[in-house]
Amino acid sequence: MSLMTIQHYLTRAQQQHAGATGELTLILNDIVTSCKRVAQAVNQGALLGTMGDLGSQNVQGEVQKALDVIANTIFLESNQASGLLAGMASEEMDDPYLMPEGVHGRYLLLFDPLDGSSNVNVNISVGSIFSVLRCPDGVVQPQLADFLQPGVQQVCAGYALYGSSTMLVITTGSGVDGFTLDHGTGEFMLTHPQMRIAEDSREFAINMSNQRHWPPAIKRYVDECVQGASGPRGVDFNMRWVASMVAEVHRILLRGGIFMYPMDNKNAAQGGRLRLLYEANPMAMLVEQAEGLASTGRQRLLELVPHALHQRVSVILGSRHEVERVQDYFSAE
C-alpha cells in the first residue's frame, strides 16, 4: 500500500488554496520537526535520565518534569528559525516568547509541549498540542493582547501522540487527518484521512475522584451512564480515564465518546482545569472539524473570548449527541 507523506499532503493542500503563500506549510513543517524531536526525547527519556521532576513549578503551579522543559525548548528552537512567526506562547512559560528584532512573522504559535507529562514515568501515552493564529495586521512586535483570540480564529490546530506509535493529527479547517511516523524513514505518513467522530457513543471519560465536586448536570449525566441498562439510558457504558488530554481526544476521534473536565467546586476559583488557548481551543477545533461538539457545558468553546494567556476553562467535547445531552442538563439547572 502506497501512503502519502505529510510533506506531499501539505504541498497538495497548499496548491488547492488560491492565493496561498506557502507560509503556513513551512510553519507546519517546523511543527512536524518539533514533534519528531519530542518523540525521540520521550522515547529515550529513561535511557538519558530525563524522566524525573526538576523541583521547579511552571506558571500553573504544576511541578515541572525534565521532559516538560526539554519539549518546550525543542518547540522554541524548531519554530523560530524560519522567521514566519511573530511570537509563541507555551504552558511552560509565564509570558509570550517574542522573535528577535527584525523578524516580522505573520503568525502566532501556542502550544502545550508535553501534555500528560505525569504519565511519562509509567510509559502511558503523552502528547503535544498546538494552535496557530494570525498575528493581527500591522503588528510587528505582538503584545499579550494579540494572543487573546477566540478559537474560531485559529488557522490550524493539532496534536502529536507519543504512544504505541507516534501520530500527528491536524486540521487547517477542512477536516481532520492523521499521520503515523515511520521510524524507518523518519516520515509521517497519512494513515487516517478525514477522521470522523461517531454521533453516538457508549463511552465516557472523566476523573471520578472529583465526583463530590461536580455540578449537578455532570453528576446527572454520569449517574445515568453508570446505571447502564437498568437506568434511564437503557444501555451499558464504559468509562475511560488516561489523564492525558491528547490520548483521550485521540480515542474519541477513532471510536467516539465524550471527554469531560468541567468547572466544579474544586477548580471554580481558577475557572476550570484545562487551559483555553493551547489545550481546549485546538482540541475543540479538531473535534468540530471531525463533526463532534466542544462546549463548556453552557456555550461553544471556540466562541469564548480569552482574557488571560493561561486562562482555564470547563471542557466537554466529543460525540455530538452526548455533548448535546450534557448541555441540555446544564440548561435545566
Q: Give the type of residue at 125.
A: S
C-alpha to C-alpha distance for 124 and 185, rounded to whole angstroms? 25
pTM of the shown model = 0.95
What residues contact 37, with CB distance under 8 A and at least 6 apart? 74, 78
Residues at the binding site for Mg(2+) are: 91, 112, 114-115, 279
Grid cell at residue 11 = 504541498
Q: What is the pLDDT along the chain (333 residues), one digit of tens a residue?
A: 679 999 999 988 888 776 678 899 999 999 999 999 999 999 987 777 776 666 565 666 666 778 999 999 999 999 998 889 999 999 999 999 988 877 789 999 999 999 998 888 888 899 999 999 999 998 988 999 999 999 999 999 999 999 999 999 999 999 999 999 999 999 999 999 999 999 999 999 999 999 999 999 999 999 999 999 999 999 999 999 999 999 999 999 999 999 999 999 999 999 999 999 999 999 999 999 999 999 999 999 999 999 999 999 999 999 999 999 999 999 998
Q: Which helix (H) or strand (E) holds 63?
A: strand 63-65
Residues 169 and 161 sit within 8 Å (Cβ to Cβ): yes
> What's residue 322's pLDDT?
98
Residues 327 and 297 sit within 8 Å (Cβ to Cβ): yes
Rounded to 10 degrees, the C-alpha dihedral 188/192/195/198 comes to -140
- Residues paired with residue 295 on neighbouring β-strands, in sequence order: 300, 316
C-alpha to C-alpha distance for 216 and 224, rounded to whole angstroms? 12
C-alpha to C-alpha distance for 11 and 62, rounded to whole angstroms? 39
Rounded to 10 degrees, the C-alpha dihedral 81/84/90/94 comes to 90
Residues at the binding site for substrate are: 115-118, 207
Q: Please, what's the b/e burial string for 76-98 (b: 16 or more CB within 10 A of its CB; e: otherwise)?
A: bebbbeeebbbbbbbbbbeebbe
The DSSP result for 120-169, as a single string, is GGGT--EEEEEEEEEPPTT-SS--HHHH---GGGEEEEEEEEESSSEEEE
> What's residue 104's pLDDT?
80
C-alpha to C-alpha distance for 132 and 14, rounded to whole angstroms? 16
Pick the CATH number of 203-331 from 3.30.420.310, 3.40.190.80, 3.40.50.300, 1.10.357.10: 3.40.190.80
C-alpha to C-alpha distance for 192 and 196, rounded to whole angstroms? 10
> What's residue 284's pLDDT?
98
> What's residue 321's pLDDT?
98
What residues contact 104, with CB distance under 8 A and at least 6 apart? 83, 86, 140
For residue 78, give Cα distances in angstroms to 75, 163, 209.
5, 22, 38
Residues at the binding site are: 91, 112, 114-118, 207, 279
> What's residue 65's pLDDT?
77
C-alpha to C-alpha distance for 171 and 227, rounded to whole angstroms? 37
C-alpha to C-alpha distance for 202 and 258, rounded to whole angstroms? 9
Residues 197 and 256 sit within 8 Å (Cβ to Cβ): yes
User: How many other CB atoms are found less than 10 A from the CB of residue 325?
Assistant: 16
> What's residue 27's pLDDT?
96
Domain boundaries, the chain: 6-192, 203-331
For residue 167, give Cα distances in angstroms to 123, 130, 162, 170, 246.
16, 14, 7, 10, 11
For residue 198, give Cα distances in angstroms to 203, 311, 328.
11, 30, 19
The CATH classification number of 6-192 equals: 3.30.540.10
